[in-house]
Amino acid sequence: MDEEREYGIRANFMEALRKFDFGTVENVMNYLDWHWWDSIHTPTKERMIKMLNEELFEQALKDFKGSDIWISSGGFTLIITKDGVVVIQFIVEETSSAR
């Protein structure tokens, strides 16, 4: 990937982080007594951001080949679209057909 494209995707990630409502996610996690595998406490906003940045975003960026890529962990899904848009989601429940 060329430097300009990578710079744009990184800027989009930072914008998505700024817009994301970590307070609501932290409240939901506390309410559900949600813990990550290596902790007995609900993750803090700082820990969520660190995981999104160091684990999800960096891996997605490394694997990005110009088409949409999705990566998930700890209830979070990070998407980089083919156009370089970055989407951050926190998913509490999901289902699909049996196929």
For 79, the 3-state DSSP assignment is strand
- pLDDT of the residue at 41: 87
Q: Judge whether 79 lies within some domain.
A: yes
Residue 99 falls inside a structural domain = no
Host domain of residue 77: 3-90
Q: Judge whether 16 lies within some domain.
A: yes
**pLDDT score for 39:** 79
pLDDT tens sequence across 76-89? 999 999 999 999 99
Q: Which of 82, 25, 83 is nearest to 52 (CA)?
A: 25
β partners of residue 86 = 80
Residues 22-55: pLDDT tens digits? Answer: 999 999 999 999 999 877 889 999 999 999 999 9
Phi, psi of 10 (to 5 degrees): -65, -40
> What CA–CA distance (Å, rounded) separates 70 from 5?
18
CA 80 to chain centre: 10
Instruction: Report the domain count for the chain.
Output: 1
In this structure, which amino acid lies at residue 91?
I
Q: Which phi and psi (to 5°) does residue 80 adopt?
A: -115, 120
Residue 61, pLDDT score:
95
Q: Is residue 14 a part of any domain in this protein?
A: yes
Establish if 95 belongs to a structural domain.
no
Mean pLDDT, the chain, as a whole number?
Answer: 93
